[in-house]
């Protein structure tokens, strides 16, 4: 099948199926209008490859406040590639996972989004289960929830997730029940629940900025998540850590990261199961500007803290810890790099800087 600008606006009034072994090619510059309830199911291959000058638009036929359609579903061995494509609306489907229905559902299939936008869904942007998902230079915005991943392989890089509004589970990213996930050089901001939430999963969050979140910047519920070279600011809690599996300890790692100006806690560790232990490893972190830098319901002896600066310093196993103001260049302008004269610029084990030293600014 071929959808082309030469055919005018493509109007989808019901269900479109791309069977296994077949393809749907959407050419650059194509406009696709979807009626209420419309659905695209991909068991074969969907290629929507726009360009910077000729993007592809998928949008609701009804322009009212509740304008929507059902979803794009990629299932089985189906695969989809969206390049320079804007997807607006969708999500008028039954709830999958937490919160609500997704505009895009990947059930065992493969999805790649590159330089694309997913926005204005009445539910979540994406739900993926046992799937392979790659998001590069892509934005998810103005949704009830960003994206939820259950198992599978997830690669997110150079992307933005922002503006999530809802009564519950309005997270930017949610990783649950295992899987292999990495998030690199990505911003998550302005949400009503958690920025990044994990449940018995171990994603690697690298060079991530999370800011202005109503609940936790990052929530770790079991598993062994890693937060590396990141900035977590202006949430209620910077990082909340809980054990969730009674038979297994929770062992997260936070390194080279700044956690600052969060309303109640920098890092909060809670005992949920009473039979497992949270044993975090904190290395070269800066926790500043919150009423509590680090609070735990376990023993401080279960925490390893090395070469870090906490405003409210606690005594834990480890070495090289200080309580020295990073003297952020301009926190009011989200410039959270430390002043070059700050002691944190030389507090590492080899005299290097600790905490987040900047890469690009939140927006």
Average pLDDT, the chain: 94
Mean pLDDT of 32-55: 97
Mean pLDDT of 333-341: 94
- Residue-wise pLDDT for 285-312, tens only, equals 999 999 999 999 999 999 999 999 999 9
- Residue-wise pLDDT for 240-290, tens only, equals 999 876 667 889 999 999 999 999 999 999 988 777 888 999 999 999 999
Confidence of residue 163 (pLDDT cuts 50, 70, 90): very high
- pLDDT at position 309 is 97
Find residue 180's DSSP bridge partners. 153
Mean pLDDT of 14-36: 97
- pLDDT at position 362 is 44
- pLDDT at position 22 is 98
* Residue scoring higher pLDDT (316 or 267): 267
- Residue-wise pLDDT for 84-130, tens only, equals 999 999 999 999 998 899 999 999 999 999 999 999 999 999 999 99
Confidence of residue 363 (pLDDT cuts 50, 70, 90): very low
| pLDDT at residue 313 greater than cutoff 90 | no
Mean pLDDT of 195-205: 96
């Amino acid at each position: 099948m071929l959808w082309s600008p030469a055919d005018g606006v493509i109007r989808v009034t019901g269900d479109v199926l791309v069977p296994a072994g077949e393809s749907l090619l959407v050419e650059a510059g194509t406009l696709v209008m979807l009626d209420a309830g419309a659905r695209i199911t991909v068991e074969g291959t969907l290629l929507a490859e726009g360009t910077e000058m000729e993007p592809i638009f998928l949008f609701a036929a009804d322009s009212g406040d509740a304008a929507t359609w059902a979803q794009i579903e990629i299932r089985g061995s189906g695969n989809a590639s969206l390049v320079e494509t804007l997807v607006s609306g969708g999500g008028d489907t039954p709830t999958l996972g937490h919160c609500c229905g997704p505009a895009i559902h990947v059930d065992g299939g493969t999805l790649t989004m590159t330089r694309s936008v997913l926005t204005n869904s009445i539910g979540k942007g994406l739900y993926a289960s046992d799937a392979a998902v790659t998001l590069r230079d892509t934005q998810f915005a103005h949704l009830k929830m960003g994206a939820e991943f259950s198992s599978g392989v997830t690669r997110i890089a150079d992307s933005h997730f922002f503006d999530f509004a809802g009564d519950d589970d309005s997270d930017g990213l949610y990783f649950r029940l295992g899987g292999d996930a990495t998030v690199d050089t990505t911003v998550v901001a302005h949400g009503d629940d958690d920025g990044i939430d994990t449940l018995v999963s171990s994603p690697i969050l690298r060079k991530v900025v999370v800011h202005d979140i109503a609940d936790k910047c990052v929530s770790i519920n079991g598993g062994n998540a890693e937060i590396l070279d990141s900035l977590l600011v202006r949430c209620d809690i910077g990082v909340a850590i809980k054990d969730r599996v009674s038979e297994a300890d929770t062992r997260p790692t936070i390194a080279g990261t700044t956690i600052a100006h969060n309303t109640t806690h920098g890092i909060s560790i809670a005992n949920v199961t009473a039979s497992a232990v949270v044993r975090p490893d904190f290395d070269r972190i800066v926790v500043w500007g919150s009423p509590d830098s680090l609070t735990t319901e376990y023993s401080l002896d279960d925490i390893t803290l090395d070469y870090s600066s906490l405003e409210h310093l606690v005594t834990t196993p480890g070495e090289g810890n200080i309580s020295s103001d990073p003297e952020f260049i301009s926190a009011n302008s989200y410039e959270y790099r430390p002043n070059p004269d700050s002691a944190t610029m030389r507090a590492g084990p080899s005299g290097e800087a600790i905490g987040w030293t900047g890469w690009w600014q939140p927006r």
